Structure 1
Amino acid sequence: MDWKIELIHVPVSDVDRAKEFYERVGFHADHDQQVNDDLRFVQMTPPGSACSIAFGTGVGGSLQPGQQDTIQVVVPDADEALAHLRSAGVEAQGVDEQPWGRFVTFADPDGNAWTLQQLPAWSAGAGG
């Protein structure tokens, strides 16, 4: 039986600002539905990812905007990812060289932190 992570909630304070930011980074806006005055659901997917993020009003868990700091995304090239983020006007830090990979970090306008990891060559064939 396969288990696939498909959606991660990212708490934001301003839905339109968050949507514009993630579009600028390169995420695809899959869904944006204003159900009623109290409920709006936005789903966005990073390029090439099988897992999406969701945010909105009236959705999500107990995390407050800016508290999500546990999302890590694998990228093929940390230098290219850093250059892409900076060219999109995103303050990104990196490249942090570690034995277990090369890392770039950035945050959305609310302070939700993201880590991008380029896997080391020795792990490329190990299923990542």
Structure 2
Amino acid sequence: MDLHLEVVVLPVSDVDRAKEFYKGLGWREDADIVGGDQFRIVQLTPPGSGCSISFGTGVTTMTPGSLQGLLLVTRDIEAARAELLERGAPVSEVFHGSAGRFHPDDPGVRQPGRDPEGRSYQSHAVFSDPDGNGWVLQEITERLPGR
């Protein structure tokens, strides 16, 4: 059976502000549907992604900013970071972690710069949207077997 993750729901406090932020990053607007005063859903897709994000009014009961660790994969982390910065995202410096104890959300194990050996899955940068939903940018140049 094939299953495809299509949409991740983000909790936001201001729909128009979130829409402006993500469109500013160059994400494609797929939908902005209003269903009365109590319902609105906006859907956007990152460039090259098969998965979209959606947010709105009456869409989720999650606390705005509570979604963390959303992963954006790129082949060139420096170029992706530069473009995101240019588009207004508050992206951290690129970092890598100590083998065996690394988690990109833990600043205590971050080492500055790209992975010195250039290994896939090891180099990261992080940023948050205006509500504090957390994104991790990860460089993957060679996928693990089966991916």
Q: Is the 8 A contact 1:10 1:68 kept in 2?
A: yes
In our comparison, the structure showing a higher alpha carbon Rg is: 2
Give the residue type in structure 1 aligned to 2:38.
D
Give the C-alpha shift of residue 27 in structure 1.
0.8
Give the residue type in structure 2 aligned to 1:126.
P
Give the C-alpha shift of residue 124 in structure 1.
2.9
Q: Helix, strand or coil: the match of 1:94?
A: coil
Structure 1 or 2: more strand by fraction: 1
Q: Helix, strand or coil: the match of 1:4?
A: coil
2:37 is matched with which residue? 37
- For structure 2, which runs of at least 5 residues remain unmatched after alignment? 100-120
Q: Helix, strand or coil: the match of 1:13?
A: coil
Q: Helix, strand or coil: the match of 1:43?
A: strand
Q: Is the 8 A contact 1:81 1:104 kept in 2?
A: no
Give the C-alpha shift of residue 76 in structure 1.
1.2
Give the residue type in structure 2 aligned to 1:114.
W
Superposed counterparts of 1:1-128, under 5 Å:
1-60=1-60, 62-98=61-97, 100-119=121-140, 121=141, 123-124=142-143, 126-128=145-147
Give the C-alpha shift of residue 127 in structure 1.
4.5
1:126, 1:118 → 2: CA distance?
Answer: 16
Runs of 4+ in structure 1 deviating by more than 3 angstroms, as ranges, are none
1:52, 1:112 → 2: CA distance?
Answer: 15
TM-score, normalization by structure 1 = 0.90
Q: Is the 8 A contact 1:33 1:42 kept in 2?
A: yes
Give the C-alpha shift of residue 67 in structure 1.
0.5
Give the C-alpha shift of residue 81 in structure 1.
1.1
Give the C-alpha shift of residue 85 in structure 1.
1.2
2:27, 2:40 → 1: CA distance?
Answer: 18
Q: Helix, strand or coil: the match of 1:48?
A: coil
TM-score, normalization by structure 2 = 0.79
- For structure 1, which runs of at least 5 residues remain unmatched after alignment? none
Percent identity over paired residues: 43
Q: Helix, strand or coil: the match of 2:16?
A: helix
